[in-house]
């Protein structure tokens, strides 16, 4: 399968929805593994890295989950393709900078991605829509068990899985969820919540991981510690924190609608007005306005819009996704024009938001959600 085939699936992949989808965009479990007898990627010479890559790649490709997968070495990918993979959250920005000896294997629906020779020999991630960390871990754990039959992992009885960076040693697991928290941001309670969550040993980051802004009011919450706790305990603990954050966000939204409905209507209306009429718009402004449209949709203000449309626009208005459809290399300014054209086109069929809250729809996100 070609990378291009994956790249045209944003709309489809955004239609997949899971529990608590109103607030939880996605759940992700990532584990790091290294293969005995090979230096860590940061120490290995190029030839050794290539040897590891060629040894490991067919094993991963042979997994049932990797039927019709995309698999390649990083040096075969253009920088545009790499950037698109980053914008889709499939590879890290660091991995995008790597070349021969590094690569990836990606399954058909983009839920499973294995980076080879990133910081560790293997970085495997499983993403599911909504809040389903347990399910994601169950799947990834099975895959890991099957891989372990063919690959001798670097493992210590006392420390657990060995990793290039000591912060990952032990379970080498990172579980995270992507939360949309416009209510807490509008109510000016987000800093309080982030601080409380940090004290519970969780890291809160922006949309594109460490050191990035919470564009679009999207926050990534993940475990900090990988040592001294089982995977299940780590996931249980994160689940508890996430449930609390969801509750806080729901309360903030309900309180906004009750006490300051005009502020919500104003933000949602302006977001719609600008996104559907601008002729130049930056990625940052787009994300923040899309966040307000998503919130408005959660409140039932857009009668016929699917929530997945907003999710699709979050991704497809990113720089590399815009560049993909155009021959010439675009400057940032040109991208802002094309982004605005693209948004006006996509939103043409979306009617202006309602002037009133029909009913206070609380976050449900289960299968009865009309937005699915």
Query: Where do contacts with a second copy occur on this chain (CB under 8 A)?
Result: 262-263, 265-266, 269-270, 272-280, 337, 340, 344, 352-353, 355
CB 357 to a second copy: min, Å: 12
Distance, CA of 165 to CA of 120 (rounded, Å) = 8
Q: Please, which residues bridge with residue 218 across strands?
A: 180
Side-by-side strand order, sheet with 24-33: 70-73, 103-106, 112-116, 122-129, 24-33, 173-180, 218-223, 202-205
Which CB atom, from 97 or from 263, has the smaller least distance to a second copy? 263
Work out how close the CB of 273 gets to a second copy at its nearest, in angstroms, rounded to a whole number. 3
Quote the least distance from Cβ 256 to a second copy, whole Å: 13
Rg of the chain in Å (alpha carbons): 21
CA dist 273 → 58, 128, 276, 292 (Å): 50, 32, 6, 11
Nearest to a second copy of 263, 360 (CB atom)? 263
User: Among 165, 143, 108, 109, which residue's Cα sits nearest to residue 29?
Assistant: 143
Q: Which is nearer to a second copy, 243 or 356 (CB)?
A: 356
Helix (H, G, I), strand (E, B) or coil at 184: helix
If the CB atoms of residues 152 and 273 are measured against a second copy, the closer one turns out to be 273
> 188's torsion region: left (phi>0), alpha (psi -120 to 50) or beta?
left
Nearest-angstrom CA–CA distance, 54 and 73: 10
| Between 238 and 289, CB nearer to a second copy | 289
- Smallest separation (angstroms) from a second copy to the CB of 303: 15
Closer residue to a second copy, CB minimum distance, 251 or 280: 280
Closest distance of CB 167 from a second copy, Å: 45
As measured in angstroms, the least distance from the Cβ of 275 to a second copy is: 8
Q: What is the DSSP string of 76-136?
A: GS-HHHHHHHHHTTSS-HHHHT--TT-EEEE-TTSSEEEEESSSSSEEEEEEEESS-HHHH
Q: Which is nearer to a second copy, 2 or 262 (CB)?
A: 262
Beta-sheet strands, E only, within 273-316:
none
H/E stretch holding 46: helix 46-61
Residue 205 burial (CB count, 10 A): 19
Nearer of residues 305 and 340 to a second copy, judged by Cβ = 340
Task: For residue 371, give the 3-state DSSP assignment.
Answer: coil
Report, in Å, the least distance between residue 204 CB and a second copy. Answer: 30
Least spacing, CB of residue 344 vs a second copy, in Å: 7
Residue placing its CB nearer to a second copy in the complex, 232 or 284: 284
- Closest approach of a second copy to the CB of residue 291, in Å: 16
- Which strand (E) or helix (H) includes residue 293? helix 283-298
């Amino acid at each position: 399968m070609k990378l291009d085939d994956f790249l045209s699936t944003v709309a489809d992949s955004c239609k997949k929805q899971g529990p608590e989808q109103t607030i939880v965009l996605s759940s992700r479990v990532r584990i790091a593994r290294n293969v005995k007898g090979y230096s860590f990627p940061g120490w290995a010479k190029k030839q050794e890295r290539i040897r590891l890559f060629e040894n490991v790649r067919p094993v991963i490709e042979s997994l049932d989950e990797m039927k019709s997968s995309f698999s390649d070495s990083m040096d075969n990918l253009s920088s545009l393709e790499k950037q698109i993979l980053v914008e889709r959250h499939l590879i890290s920005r660091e991995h995008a900078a790597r070349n021969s000896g590094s690569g990836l294997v990606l399954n058909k629906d983009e839920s499973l991605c294995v980076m080879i020779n990133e910081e560790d020999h293997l970085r495997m991630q499983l993403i599911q829509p909504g809040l389903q960390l347990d399910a994601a871990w169950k799947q990834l754990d099975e895959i890991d068990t099957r891989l372990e039959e063919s690959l001798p992992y670097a493992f210590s009885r006392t420390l657990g899985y060995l990793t290039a960076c000591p912060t990952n040693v032990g379970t080498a697991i990172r579980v995270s969820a992507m939360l949309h928290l416009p209510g807490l941001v509008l109510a000016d309670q987000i800093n309080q919540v982030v601080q409380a969550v940090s004290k519970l040993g969780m890291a809160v980051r922006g949309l594109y991981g460490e050191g990035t802004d919470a564009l679009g009011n999207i926050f990534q919450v993940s475990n900090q510690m990988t040592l001294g706790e089982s995977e299940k305990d780590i996931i249980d603990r994160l689940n508890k924190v996430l449930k609390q954050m969801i509750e806080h966000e729901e309360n903030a939204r309900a309180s906004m609608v009750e006490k300051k409905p005009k502020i919500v209507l104003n933000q949602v209306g302006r977001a719609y007005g600008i996104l559907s009429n601008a002729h130049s718009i930056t990625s940052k402004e787009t994300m923040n306005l899309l966040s307000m449209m998503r919130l408005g949709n959660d409140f039932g203000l857009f009668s016929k819009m699917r929530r997945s449309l907003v999710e699709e626009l979050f991704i497809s208005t990113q720089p590399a996704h815009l560049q993909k459809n155009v021959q010439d290399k675009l400057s940032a300014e040109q991208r802002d024009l094309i982004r605005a054209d693209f948004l006006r086109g996509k939103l043409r069929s979306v009617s202006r938001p309602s002037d009133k809250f029909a009913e206070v729809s609380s976050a449900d996100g289960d299968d009865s959600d009309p937005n699915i």
